[in-house]
A and B are shown apart, each in its own frame.
Chain A
């Protein structure tokens, strides 16, 4: 039984990591396509039909690039930085429920690595660790521009984590649980948190943009202003790891957003179809992926629409607008919950 459990989790883990990589890979392709379409161009369309082999060509190019390391860099930390970035991006997905359980050969398989009863705390812990990847990489490069880029990135991420946490507390209070599975269950029927908690969702969305270092908050590497930000000294696949982990972060935060605010793998319409439990579980996985794809598209849509915030505007928005808004939202929700009870 223990061995079966181990194999089950191993298979699921490998599957989730593989899916994360594939989604991140094709997110780069879709991002370029979306950029092209929004700018009235076609985007990459030369590698394979519709250019779908483009990410493979990009990855191959990065592998063949020359590996450079500054002579004065801290060798160990310099290599560790991209690893931390990638690792923290991947481990966050462990608590996301991808679907309802599947029963095969009399055994029930959970489509979730770990149903932690403190899943939200785990997510925030993992997201906070992401700062280390950036900070360590920027610092170990031993280059003042890298260090300043890392400082910009980490102060931004730390500032926005607070508001993000506050906005999620309201969701937790409504569901009366920290487990993501229970939060999904609480949203069954059209009781999606996005309708109950629009302000909380808005704050979470904006802070998620900032946490992922995406436009309009990509001050960590802003192309036009800095040379490159924290990964200035990185090249080859180490740079690829940093860029890739950004897309994995985007994927995971889209999945978390879909879980917290859009009912996760549940869709009220599915219940009326009369599917068996296994088919329903698979349909739930598809539903979750459709939801997170729409959110990821929104990420890209925003990137090619908005200009970048100035650094003082970023800090103003984070501390003077989003943080108080999240607290007010939390207190208001707490009041309602205290009077009416959960749901």
Chain B
């Protein structure tokens, strides 16, 4: 052969004349009809969503929740690491300083006055949860409900923040009483891994950071 074949997988196409059986189409049509009627009576794969919810993994990455500590104070300190980590740039926040007398509301001296996630931009990757040094944000296995206006998908603290202990949740957390359970996403192993000194964002603070921020409310 004068020309070397580019690939060893090339095949010679054989164009055979169709046999009589093939040319009258009917046997092929009948076998095709048999296939489709079989599928007609098969079990359907559809989940009728609002009534029937497709089973999700317990560690499914769905709508975020902003956590409170055991006393009911917000854990978020508006450090902005989640916003920095967010690949979709879905998170924005405005920080504010805690006033005297607000110790029951906010855990540390600085807190997020405004905390917004654009749920249309969010890709539910979980980087915010991974980046948070205060265990303040977690993904849950809840789904973001549908809306008919884009602006309604920008979730503020009213929808993200979990309820205080013993109170009924509002906004998207409606129906859940008290803290949203994230124990499956925050196992001791995950926490230990997150506090590991070798981990990039732990190196700046060294061992001290691992000591003080070990809240852990699982």
Q: Which residues of B contact A38 (CB under 8 A)?
A: 36-37, 39-40
Contact of B45 among A34, A41, A321 (CB under 8 A): A41
Stretch at the interface among A12-20, A218-226, A238-246, A298-306: A298-306
Q: Which residues of A contact B35 (CB under 8 A)?
A: 305
> Could you tell me which A residues sit within 8 Å of B by CB distance?
34, 36-42, 45, 301-302, 304-306, 321
Contact of B46 among A41, A301, A302, A321 (CB under 8 A): A41
**Interface size, chain B (Cβ < 8 Å):** 14
Whether, in the assembled complex, B32 has its beta carbon less than 8 Å from a beta carbon of chain A, the answer is yes
Bound: A39/B45 CA distance, A: 10
Complex A-B: 24 CB contacts under 8 Å: A36-B44, A37-B39, A37-B40, A37-B44, A38-B37, A38-B39, A38-B40, A39-B39, A40-B39, A40-B44, A41-B44, A42-B44, A42-B48, A45-B48, A301-B33, A301-B37, A301-B40, A302-B29, A302-B33, A304-B36, A305-B29, A305-B32, A305-B35, A321-B24
Task: Kindly name the residue among A41, A45, A304, A305 whose own CB sees the greatest number of chain B CB atoms within 10 A.
Answer: A305
Q: Which residues of B contact A45 (CB under 8 A)?
A: 48
Which residue of chain A has its CB nearest to the CB of B35?
A: A305
Extra 10 A-B pairs, beta carbons < 8 Å, given A38-B40, A302-B33: A34-B40, A37-B39, A38-B36, A41-B44, A301-B33, A302-B29, A305-B32, A305-B35, A305-B36, A321-B24
Bound: A37/B39 CA distance, A: 7
Q: Which residues of A contact B37 (CB under 8 A)?
A: 38, 301
B52 to chain A, nearest CB (A): 11
Contacts A41-B45, A41-B46 given; indicate if A306 touches B40 (C-beta within 8 A).
no
Contact of B42 among A34, A40, A301, A321 (CB under 8 A): A40
Query: Which residues, 23 to 70 on B, are CB-close (under 8 Å) to A?
Result: 24, 29, 32-33, 35-37, 39-40, 42, 44-46, 48
B154 to chain A, nearest CB (A): 28
Q: Which residues of A contact B36 (CB under 8 A)?
A: 38, 301, 304-305
Q: Which residues of B contact A39 (CB under 8 A)?
A: 39
B53 to chain A, nearest CB (A): 16
Bound: A34/B40 CA distance, A: 7
Q: Which residues of B contact A41 (CB under 8 A)?
A: 44-46
Which residue of chain A has its CB nearest to the CB of B34?
A: A305
B128 to chain A, nearest CB (A): 35
Complex contact A306–B44 (CB within 8 A) = no
A51 to chain B, nearest CB (A): 11
Bound: A250/B42 CA distance, A: 27
Bound: A226/B18 CA distance, A: 29
Q: Which residues of A contact B39 (CB under 8 A)?
A: 37-40
